[in-house]
Amino acid sequence: MTRRPLSARRRRLVLELPVDEPDGFGGRLRRYVAGPVLWGSLEALGAAAPRGGRSDRPGLYRVGLRYRPGVTPAMRLADGARRFAIRAADDPDGRRRDLVCEVEEVIEEATS
């Protein structure tokens, strides 16, 4: 990956942290709470294969951030009303300067 200038990180993203709570039936409910605000870049990679007979296809993206330890696939990123599930997070050169995340856009179910 080519190092990008800091000015390329113009997108304001919120790192959302998972909170698991018991559902009262032996399972758990997962919700997300807003964590720190991060500045990053968002680059489209294409679309994922459709799953479960759905006609909509979530977008795949690469997000470039300043290095931050502890980012895991259990977390997600928010960009306004859009949500992105983190699929992988990596320090590309091992120097703890940059963090590159491969993310998939979360498509919420329509409620009627």
Q: Each residue of 57-77: pLDDT tens digit?
A: 578 999 999 999 999 999 999
Asked if pLDDT for residue 98 goes beyond 90, the answer is yes
Residue 3, pLDDT score? 62
Could you give the percent of the chain with pLDDT greater than 90? 72
**Cα 18 to Cα 31, 85, 92, 95, distances in angstroms:** 6, 11, 25, 27
DSSP 3-state assignment of 8? helix
Residue 71, pLDDT score? 96
**Cα 39 to Cα 35, 68, 85, distances in angstroms:** 13, 12, 17
| Contact of 11 with 41, CB cutoff 8 Å | yes
The C-alpha atoms of residue 74 and residue 40 are separated, in whole angstroms, by 19
The C-alpha atoms of residue 54 and residue 100 are separated, in whole angstroms, by 29
